[in-house]
Amino acid sequence: MFEKKKYNGVQEDCEGWRSITYGDLIKELVEKYGDRVAAIGEEEEITYEQLDKMSDNLLGYLLEQGLKKGDIVIMQIPNSLEMLVSLFALYKGGIVPVMTLPAHGVYEIGAICDLSEAKGYLCMDTFCHRGCEQVAKEVAKSHSSLKTLMFGADITREMHEMRKLSDYEKPTYKDMAMLLLSGGTTGIPKMIPRTHGDYIYDNIVIGERCELSKKDVFLSVLPASHNFTLGNPGILGTLYYGGTVVMTDTVSPMEIFENVETYQVTYTAMVPAVLGMCINYRMEDQEEDISSLRFVMTGGAMLPKEIEDKAEDVLGCTLLQIYGTAEGLNTCYRPSDRLTKDSGKQGIPISPYDEILILDEDGNVLPPGKKGAMVTKGPYTISGYYKNPTANETAFTSDGYYKTGDLAVLNERYELTLMGRCVEQINKGGEKIMPSELENCIRKSNVIKDCSVVGIPDQELGNLVLAAVITEDGEISLKEMQEFLKQQGVAKYKWPDKVLTMKTFPLTAVGKVDKKKIAKVFTGE
């Protein structure tokens, strides 16, 4: 079922590897699929040829503003044609986007700018409550390195303004294509350098595993700056195989199903929380025709069994669980040979060169069928974070394996079953939150003496965020705490959902805060 091959550390030796950039790729796609629809936005659709021309136009503008190969820019654009065109413009010029979320605030973006010394900021508001443009202007006040600020209307105009590209230095397949983001233990998210070569290989092999073709239509439900939506196989994988991407910006079940019917969507990707909402909605309302769906992918968090049990019957298509990290490794089955729906597995690695080891607490390799900490390396898995030697010391083994932080079981057939986390990171609806980061922010309040952030189980989101606090006097309300974090510019998805005021924190035998006991106090167990 899985032909495992030894990865010798030379990516180019891997079967299926292509030494090209995304700039090269879009030219190839134009030759193959020029007048086919590449992407559909809210009010417009564009062909492969138009995507190529529009990204050339935008690149021309960015070069005129002084940006060049190797420069880093913040890209904070929601799912839209503007996001897609901007991405390819940056790829072509070797200008490296940091793939931030629309939800990120001044706190997170400022920290990213401090580390990356970003030269530009591209952003767009689609809904007024997001305030991305305001975040950009606020960050720019304290970061003189930001020479180019470009907002929504400017991006749209420059996409359509025809200009001839002058000579410019182009990237190679070994150069960084982008910096994805991962959770951080401080206010600085870890930045994940993905090259043109490794990410295109990732798109190719996972697209092949998902049996993609030019007939496929992908609906982008989650933020496109997420690795899951962007390239696993998502937007870039769909384009590689000549399909069409529907760029939407909603997790409303009604709108999702309307889009499936309107655009004859063949697959989409959801975190379990969104999938659960869609299943519940569909059980009450079957008005839309969603028979075009071949499969729905789910990942980013543990899938509750009650959702897995209902999904295929309710949606009438294959449910495809995927395991993936922005740092690299992806696993899933082929839609055509997925096991029975109660398998509970995340499939097999997408590349025969992926290496997975399951380790015990002492770092010894466990035999098949035993649960332990998962480490991995391979041709599209990174060997280090960007400018973060501290994280690299703890996140990678001495022989180059990436420590995923996940507990897993690997059987004799190389099938992966995810069993949970072996680090304290909280997974809330697919968004990763480090308790220590949030604790440091909350402790800045002059009414709070100490804070301990804990994940508590939730049927829909997987976890909610509980902030247990010791106050100077009296209690602090949830609303007051959220307002305090808002003033600091902390992303809303990190805000606590619950607050528990305590006189003291329970301690373990070695004197550490016992977070398991705090959770039990809150739940009354």
In a domain, 242, yes or no: no
In a domain, 481, yes or no: yes
Residue 340's pLDDT is 54
Query: The tokens 């247990």 sit on which residue?
Result: 468
pLDDT at 440 over 90: no
pLDDT at 509 over 70: no
Cα-flanking dihedrals φ and ψ of residue 175, to 5°? -80, 155
pLDDT tens, position by position, 105-128: 898 999 999 999 999 999 997 644
d(CA 137, CA 2): 51
Residue 339 — very low, low, confident or very high, per pLDDT cuts 50/70/90? low
Residue 129's pLDDT is 43
d(CA 13, CA 7): 9
Residue 125's pLDDT is 77
Strand arrangement, sheet containing 416-421: 355-359, 372-377, 402-410, 416-421
Residue 361's pLDDT is 85
Could you give the percent of the chain with pLDDT greater than 90?
71
Residue 507 — very low, low, confident or very high, per pLDDT cuts 50/70/90? confident
In a domain, 488, yes or no: yes
The predicted model gives 378-384 an average pLDDT of: 97
For 354, residues 6+ apart whose C-beta sits below 8 A from its C-beta are 7, 329, 331, 376, 378, 379, 381
pLDDT tens, position by position, 510-524: 456 788 889 888 888
Residue 510's pLDDT is 47
Higher-pLDDT residue of 89, 504: 89
Token reading at 286: 């079957």
Query: Pick from 146, 92, 89, 157: which is nearest to 124 by CA?
Result: 157
CATH value at residue 516: 3.30.300.30
Question: Is the Cβ–Cβ distance between 384 and 400 less than 8 Å?
Answer: no
In a domain, 507, yes or no: yes
Residue 471 — very low, low, confident or very high, per pLDDT cuts 50/70/90? confident
Residue 92's pLDDT is 98
The predicted model gives 221-237 an average pLDDT of: 95
User: What's the Cα-to-Cα distance from 408 to each of 326, 374, 397, 416, rounded to whole Å?
Assistant: 18, 6, 17, 7
Candidate from 242-256, 333-347, 379-393, 430-444 with smallest mean pLDDT: 333-347
DSSP string computed for 299-341 = -SS---HHHHHHHHHHHSSEEEE-EE-TTS-EEE--GGG---T
d(CA 346, CA 299): 9
In a domain, 458, yes or no: yes
pTM: 0.85
Could you give the percent of the chain with pLDDT greater than 70?
95
Q: Is 449 left (phi over 0), alpha (psi -120 to 50) or beta?
A: alpha
Tally of domains in the chain: 1
User: What's the Cα-to-Cα distance from 263 to each of 5, 35, 85, 479, rounded to whole Å?
Assistant: 39, 17, 20, 41
Q: Where are the beta strands (DSSP E) in 378-461?
A: 402-410, 416-421, 426-428, 431-433, 448-458
pLDDT tens, position by position, 54-95: 999 999 999 999 999 999 999 999 999 999 999 999 999 999
pLDDT at 2 over 50: yes
In a domain, 490, yes or no: yes
The predicted model gives 306-335 an average pLDDT of: 93
> Cα-atom radius of gyration of the chain, to the nearest Å?
23
pLDDT at 444 over 50: yes
In a domain, 322, yes or no: no
Q: For residue 449, give its domain range.
A: 433-523
In a domain, 366, yes or no: no
Question: Is the Cβ–Cβ distance between 11 and 198 less than 8 Å?
Answer: yes
d(CA 82, CA 68): 20
Higher-pLDDT residue of 31, 303: 31
d(CA 243, CA 4): 29
The predicted model gives 339-357 an average pLDDT of: 84
Candidate from 216-220, 276-280, 352-356 with smallest mean pLDDT: 276-280
User: What totals of helices (H) and strands (E) does the chain contain, helices first?
Assistant: 16, 25
Residue 473 — very low, low, confident or very high, per pLDDT cuts 50/70/90? confident
pLDDT tens, position by position, 272-304: 888 988 999 999 999 999 999 999 999 987 787
Residue type, 232: N
pLDDT at 10 over 90: yes
